[in-house]
Amino acid sequence: MISLIFFVFCFFCSQFSHQALALDFCVADYAAPMSPSGHSCKDPSKVTVNDFVFSGLDVAGNSSKIFKFGFKSASDTELPGLNGLGFSLGRADFEKGAVVPIHAHPDASEISLVLDGKVTFGFIASDNTVYQKSLVKGDVFVVPQGLMHYAFNEGETPAPVIVGFSSSKPSVQLLDLALFRSNLASQVITSSTLIGAEEVKRLKAIFGGSG
């Protein structure tokens, strides 16, 4: 029996030497270089189950005082086993009165599932059509890649939302921060959006922009 098992072992294991583990997955090695396809792969012999586990999506992330909205991410930055898999998860929490300011994910589509409360989601297509819907518990909303979208809590209770992305580390560009927190020159903002100079000044003060 020993030799039989030996042969079974040697027959199949011969396929599993030489970095073969990396074919099932490419756990992120944050210390090595990144490439356009993602992080370098961690040495397979050092991968553990914890590389595939993340904890804490039961608790809301820190909330913005202005928008009353918090976000917590389980992307390949927090969850190295997601590297190269092309999707990730997060949790958004809407306090009463919360608004998710208009933003876009340049490299990801988004799917949101309302766990509780009443939230309105909307996105704007490139022909300026608005696709907006009021959602309740159990409802799901899809935002195609790169399009501006927003959401707000229209109920009386907090609304937790689970969010999926079609990227292992979705990028996010917030309209207000891009314009009014950056050092984009006020005159450029005014001329390229027609938002009035006074309004730009007011918004830069709120968001901390310079320029």
- Residue from the set 93, 117, 122, 159 that interacts with a second copy by CB under 8 A: 122
Instruction: For residue 97, report the phi and psi dihedrals to the nearest 5 degrees.
Output: 85, 5
**Site size for a second copy (CB under 8 A):** 142
* Residue-by-residue DSSP string for 110-175: EEEEE-SSEEEEEEE-TT--EEEEEEETT-EEEE-TT--EEEEE-SSS-EEEEEEESSSS---EEH
Q: Which of 93, 94, 117, 152: binder of a second copy (CB under 8 A)?
A: 152
Query: Does 183 participate in binding a second copy (rule CB under 8 A)?
Result: yes
- Residue 39 annotated in ligand binding: no
158 binds a second copy per the rule CB under 8 A: no
Residue 148 near residue 104 (C-beta atoms within 8 A): yes
Residue 197, interface with a second copy (CB under 8 A)? no
Q: How far is the CA of 204 from the CAs of 20, 117, 178, 210, in angstroms?
A: 52, 32, 11, 7
154 is in an annotated binding site: no
Residue 10 binds to a second copy (criterion: CB under 8 A): yes
Tell me how far apart the alpha carbons of residues 80 and 183 are, in angstroms, rounded to a whole number: 33
Chain positions 39 to 78 lying near a second copy, rule: CB under 8 A, are: 39-41, 48-50, 52-59, 61-66, 70-71, 73-74, 77
Amino acid at 156: E
Please indicate if the annotation marks 18 as binding a ligand: no
Q: Exactly one of 92, 95, 155, 170 binds a second copy (CB under 8 A); which one?
A: 170
Binding-site entries for Mn(2+) = 103, 105, 110, 149
